Amino acid sequence: TVTAQERNINPERPESQIDTSLGSITVRLDAVRAPGTVQNFLNYVNDGFYDNTIVHFVDPAKTIVAGGYSVDRKPKPTGPPIRNEAHNGLKNLRGTIAMARNPSLIDSATSQFFINLADAPQRDHRGTTAATYGYCVFGTVTEGLNVAEQISTAPTANLGGDLLQTPNPPIVIKSIHVLR
């Protein structure tokens, strides 16, 4: 097997590419400030978990959410929830990637993530309750923010449950892979 060093992967700031049906988005992850979250995301990436999943929620010019539903719009089984590292000092600014979670449970993130298309201080860590703990930012979009913006304005349908503003026709994440 090839090691991360041999593949020229920066262990502190690995980069991943999200290949969607509308184009690619490159994210640089911050394993220094969000080590557990980055490791969790990369575990899902390396397992091929995100292959053929959909962007399941969009809010035009604000956010896109993905990483939890297969192309047949069924929830994918995930690993256990991880510790929320929203207290890491990183802010939910335009162009950041963060973990989605159950708003009523601090440590509930699994595989779902979102890309902020506008500054979202309401998602930042502000306290110790579930309502104020925030959402862990674990990286920044370095290329393809325009693709994420295009995804956010796709026509949507309310498919019920968590699929309230779901792109229809579906926007597929073909794969996510580590670049360097």
Q: What is the pTM of this model?
A: 0.94
For the stretch 37-50, pLDDT in tens is 999 999 999 999 99
Tokens of 69: 């539903």
59: pLDDT strictly greater than 80:
yes
Q: Whose structure tokens read 């593949």?
A: 7
Q: What is the pLDDT of residue 4?
A: 53
- What was the pLDDT predicted at 1? 52
Lowest mean pLDDT segment, chosen from 1-15, 66-80, 112-126: 1-15
pLDDT on residue 180: 86
Q: Which amino acid is at 122?
A: Q
Res. 5: pLDDT tops 90: no
Binned at pLDDT 50, 70 and 90, residue 10 comes out as confident
CA 65/CA 159 separation, integer angstroms? 15
Of all residues in the chain, the percent with pLDDT exceeding 90 is: 92
84-113: per-residue pLDDT in tens?
999 999 999 999 999 999 999 999 999 999
Distances (CA, A) of 55 to 22, 133, 153, 171: 11, 25, 12, 6
Tokens of 117: 């298309």
Per residue in 130-162, pLDDT (tens digit) is 999 999 999 999 999 999 999 999 999 999 888
- Dihedral sign (CA 139, 144, 145, 149): negative
